[in-house]
Amino acid sequence: MKKFLYLFFVILFTSVSAQEKKEFQLSSHILDITVGQPVEKVDVQLEKFDETTKQWVSLGKKQTDKNGRIADFLPYSKDLKSNYGKYKLIFLTEDYFKNKKVESFYPFIEVVFQIKDDKHYHVPITLSPFGYSTYRGS
């Protein structure tokens, strides 16, 4: 009976751990610090720097959800090193402020960063009409 219970908990733990593995290596979100609320419906572009051509290559565009988040940028690859490199998130903030009838200084915000391992990267911004901040989150 003890062996059965032990096996049961090993299988349960293994399946829970497997479910916790994220499918995407990169996520982001936007928080408007002037109102303390997430920013929804903002387009965010992802680009990767091609070291050979010295050009930025578009990898796609997504839109923040009602919680101001994008959870599904950059899927994990079987060859994890293929995701290593320099990236840029471009937050297209101009329409957000126009829709709020708020004067702003930054029509878009570019955040450049590097992925050097197979860990998850969370790159958010806090936003106001005349400033922003970013950091590597978790």
**Any known ligand binding at 29?**
yes
pLDDT digits (tens, 9 = 90+) for 51-78: 999 999 999 999 999 999 999 988 887 7
Residue 2 lies inside a defined structural domain of this protein: no
Domain with 41 in it: what CATH number?
2.60.40.180
Residue 98 lies inside a defined structural domain of this protein: yes
Residue 10 lies inside a defined structural domain of this protein: no
Beta carbons within 10 angstroms of residue 47's beta carbon: 19
Residue 3 lies inside a defined structural domain of this protein: no
**Any known ligand binding at 132?**
no
pLDDT digits (tens, 9 = 90+) for 16-36: 333 345 688 999 999 999 999
Positions of E strands within the chain: 24-32, 37-38, 43-50, 55-63, 69-75, 85-91, 109-115, 121-122, 125-128, 131-134
How sure is the predictor about 103, in pLDDT bands with cuts at 50, 70 and 90?
Answer: very high
For residue 95, what are the domain limits? 24-134
C-alpha span between 17 and 46 (Å, rounded): 29
In the numeric block, the tokens 């994890």 are attached to 80
Q: Which tokens hold the place of 59?
A: 């990898």
